[in-house]
Amino acid sequence: MATIGIVGASGYAGAELLRLVVGHPELELVFATGDRQAGAAIAGLYPNLAGVVGAKPFDAWDPILAEGVDLVFCALPHGASSDLMPELRKRAGRVVDLAADFRLHDAALYPQWYGEDHPHPELLAEFAYGLPELFRDEVRAATAVAAPGCYPTTAALALAPFLTAGLVERTGIIVDAASGVSGAGRDKFPFCGTDENFAAYGLLDHRHTPEMEQALGAQLLFTPHLAPMNRGILATCYARPTDPTSTEALMEVLHEAYRGERFVVVLDEPPSTKATQGSNACHVTVRYDQRTGWVVALAALDNLVKGAAGQAVQCANLLLDMDEATGLSVAGMYP
């Protein structure tokens, strides 16, 4: 058994990590912090976990908690993990960060996209980008991983096979994606502001844009949308082909790229968010429109699982030399 800690367990991604970790056959949870909830029962905030956490309370963060722990997950808001990472790297054997603090390789991008300098640029090179389907060898060889979020994961898995094969142009790509409200965190959006509403935000300058471009090695225009649902994300991506092609040829590229990948499912029909709910799976498909000359690649996933906690556990399995799929499901919940 590997010992595990979670810093920031009281948010949605942290709670999903708790659900996955306590159900994992090879992981032992030793601490779970939630500073605003410190001392309160975990099951009081998340009653769905009552059967597995009992009366266990949230811990208050203290660096000594991480001493000698095999792996620590950080599920904090952006900017929060940067401050504690130097100490955490000294104490814990391995770290998986779910925030964007260490995803970008180039420190110069943080002022442009996040509005401030990175406080510890010397640590950026230590972090592998935690999208195993595209960067598995780097993740397996690392001791620190920055797990990508839901938008970059969805876009990257939809587009990467075609960019890698040189089948679409590396400029002029458009990514339209819609996420459920839980992607914004536990406290940000009230019911009345999101129910029966569908809105675009972050126009032209959303902070995940450079992360997508880094993962894909391509230029793109990204427009996120907030959808009135709890979970899920659907990305519709448009690219220009480099040569004449067809839907059949592009589908074959998808099948070949993800053959043997347990968490990417290639579908003939358009993917839906509901079908991925609760699973670590990403569903993908593609079309070529002869009339307009566009390649349209689509992907759907659960933003709290493959887009956050599930992906982090997938990376942890690799870091701990376990089977990559341990403790994770490909089957979603339906209805």
Distance (Å, rounded) from C-alpha 275 to C-alpha 58?
Answer: 32
Which residue has 């996209």 as its token pair?
A: 113
Other Cβ atoms within 10 Å of 270 Cβ, number: 13
For residue 153, give the DSSP letter.
H
Q: Are 216 and 163 in contact (CB under 8 A)?
A: yes
Cβ burial 173-195 (10 Å sphere, 16+ → b, else e): bebbbbbbbbbeeeeebeeeebe
Neighbouring residues of 192: CB distance < 8 A, sequence distance ≥ 6: none
Instruction: Tell me the β-bridge partners of 265.
Output: 283
Residue 155 token pair: 């876009």
Name the pairing type of β-strands 27-32 and 94-97.
unpaired
Distance, in Å, from the CA atom of 315 to the CA atom of 103, rounded to the nearest integer, reads 14
Cβ count within 10 A of residue 196: 6
Considering only CA atoms, which of 87, 61, 78, 71 is closest in space to residue 7? 61
Q: Tokens for 36, please give them.
A: 């605003």
Instruction: Report the helix count and the strand count for the chain, using DSSP H and E.
Output: 11, 13
Asked if 29 contacts 21 with a C-beta cutoff of 8 angstroms, the reply is yes
The answer to whether 66 touches 76, Cβ cutoff 8 Å, is no
Per DSSP, what are the bridge partners of residue 241?
Answer: 168
Q: Which residues are catalytic?
A: 150
Alpha-carbon distance of 177 to 9, in angstroms, equals 27
